[in-house]
Amino acid sequence: MSTTPGLSAWNVNVVTGGTPLVDSIDVEAAAGTITAVVGPNGAGKSSLLAALARIHGTGVVQLDDEDLDGLTRRERARRVALVEQSTEASVDLTVRDAVALGRTPHLGAWGGDDAPDVVSDALEAVGMSSFEHRNLATLSGGERQRVAIGMALAQEPQLLLVDEPSNHLDISAQLAVMTLLRERADAGTTVVVALHDLTLALEHSDHALVLSHGRRIVSGPTDRTLTASLISEVYGVDASILVDPDTGRRALSFAPSASPARDTRIPAREAERTFREVAAV
């Protein structure tokens, strides 16, 4: 049905205990692009990603015109990887063994390491090569997060779903992860990433899908979709987007929505010297 390769999902619903967490959402994401799923807490971002991975929920999810529900679990696991937000803290495995698990859907019935290079590359990509013999239980939250991403990379999926990769990570690691996702996208992978941090979404995604209370508010090219007015409305704050005149990098600035005059924001006066304000409510 879709004309370009990538993800097409229609009428995705997730209902738990009578409460709709994801309410009739359609998703289009072209191969080779990064789609950011944003929205306030409880908007249904994680539920939507899990539904796209066919863990739960109803609806039609197609990848490259192939219905994911028509595939076996293994076939699906070769095409779709989901990095979830909270990974179990007490897992007793080495980093390499954990990342190698990503190869599971590619292995024959009797095991056999089909592609040790893929595992090494994935370890390298998430910067965990020197940790490969460490036990997961000894790692920090951020390191475990990177292992989880490495595991998904080792799966070599066509659709990579990542839930809040910036959690637990410091700034340089956040940027490293976003760069990594961009590399995967450039290699043809369809990347869908749920992001808390709107600045990351603004700077690193091609498309944005904005959710609120389980419903799709708007979606489209990030530049035109994640506007200050939309963010203000959806998050219930007073948001402005600031652009660094030298680098063109954008950042968001927030105030409570009832805030009076603009110049009462603390760093504003200072920021004016560096940032040119391009959009405001």
Partner 1 sequence: MLGSAALVLSLVLGVVIGPADIGLVELGAILVDGVTGDRADLALRASIVWELRLPRALTAAAVGAGLGIAGVIMQAVTRNPLADPFLLGLSSGASLGAVSVIVLGASLLLPVAAFLGALLALGATLMIARSAGPLTPVRTVLAGVAVSAVFGALTSFVIFWTATGDSYREILGWLLGTLGAADWNSVRIAGIALLVVGGALLATGRTLDAFTFGDRSAALLGVNVARTRLMLLVATALLTGAMVAVSGAIGFVGIVLPHMVRLIVGPGHTSLLPLVAINSAAFLVLADTLARTVFEPRELPVGVITALVGAPVFAALLARRSSMGVRS
Residues that bind partner 1 (CB under 8 A): 53, 55, 72-78, 81-82, 84, 87-88, 90-94, 97-98, 100-102, 104-105, 107, 109-111, 133, 135, 155
- First CA to last CA distance, the chain: 39
Report the alpha-carbon distance of residue 96 to residue 203 in Å, rounded.
32
The residue (of 103 and 204) whose beta carbon lies closer to partner 1 is 103
- Exposed, middle or buried, 91 (CB in 10 Å: 0-12/13-18/19+)? middle
The residue (of 54 and 182) whose beta carbon lies closer to partner 1 is 54
The residue (of 156 and 197) whose beta carbon lies closer to partner 1 is 156
The three-class DSSP label of residue 88 is coil
> CB of residue 2 vs partner 1: minimum separation in angstroms?
24
> CB of residue 71 vs partner 1: minimum separation in angstroms?
10
> CB of residue 148 vs partner 1: minimum separation in angstroms?
9
Helix and strand counts by DSSP (H, E) for the chain: 10, 13
Four-residue CA torsion sign, 163, 167, 169, 172: positive
> CB of residue 53 vs partner 1: minimum separation in angstroms?
6
The residue (of 24 and 135) whose beta carbon lies closer to partner 1 is 135
